[in-house]
Amino acid sequence: MQKLKIPFLVISFVSLFLVSCASKAMKEYTELPVTQTNFSIPYFADAGVDYVYKAHITVFGKEFGGIFITKKINDTTHRVVFTTEFGNTLFDFEICGDQLKVNSIVEELNRGIIKKTLQHDFALLLKKDFTIEGQYENDTIAVYKSRDKKRFNFIFVSKKENKVLKMNHSSRLKEKITVEYLSENNTLATKINITHKNFPLRIELDFIND
């Protein structure tokens, strides 16, 4: 009997811990029953579009400016290219979920931790479909919670305009990455900021109109 109590107590503690963490992250919002099991962010979903942005990346105190281009090349893979304004390639990646193919990268960025972080950031940015396991709201914002392996993505959507405003990528304890979007409609983000809470990397993207 004593042996059965210990696993039960552990399970109960873990369950309480997860609930308390979720409650802390969403303390300013009201929890709702889950009525929507899937959610899509459409900003990079069109395979017929080359998404071109003026980019500024700061990492470990070094600043890189230029042009960021991404294109969906099939259902699972995006091509991501960052060049100087003179056309010199800073990096050229193909990203498929957790898989990264490096076509080229400059020496200053060719460090394992930087490549891994950029891969994760761009995979998060370009991800379209999310499975929802929690919903929250306040007067103006709807929030959708999606599990991402051992972490969670919280997607914040304007109720009035039905636009994705930001996404928080969080551990069980605290927020790790914030992706903020500014859009004129619900299909194209004209400005994007990616900010890390505990890693010296920031990405700023401004859409370039033809």
Residue showing tokens 């998060």: 124
**Pairing between β-strand 99-105 and β-strand 141-148 as defined by DSSP bridges:** unpaired
pLDDT digits (tens, 9 = 90+) for 79-130: 999 999 999 999 999 999 889 999 999 999 999 999 999 999 999 999 999 9
The two tokens of residue 41 are 């962010």
The two tokens of residue 18 are 């997860």
**Residue-level pLDDT at 74:** 92
Segments making up each domain of the chain, as ranges: 40-130+161-207
Quick one: which of 73, 69, 101 has its CA closest to 85? 69
More confident residue, 179 or 187: 179
Strand partners of residue 194: 179, 203
Could you tell me how many residues make up the chain?
A: 210
Inter-residue contact 115 to 15 (CB < 8 Å): no
Which three-class secondary structure state does DSSP give residue 116? helix
Q: Where are the alpha helices (DSSP H) in the chain?
A: 2-25, 112-126
Q: Which amino acid is at 12?
A: S
The two tokens of residue 42 are 């459409």
Rounded Cα distance between 74 and 78, Å, is 7
Q: What does each C-alpha distance from 125 to 137, 151, 178 come to in angstroms?
A: 23, 15, 10
**Residue-level pLDDT at 123:** 95
Inter-residue contact 29 to 22 (CB < 8 Å): no
pLDDT digits (tens, 9 = 90+) for 17-76: 444 455 566 778 999 999 999 999 999 999 999 999 999 999 999 999 999 999 999 989
Torsion region of 192: left, alpha or beta (phi above 0 gives left; psi -120 to 50 gives alpha)? beta
pTM above 0.85, yes or no: yes
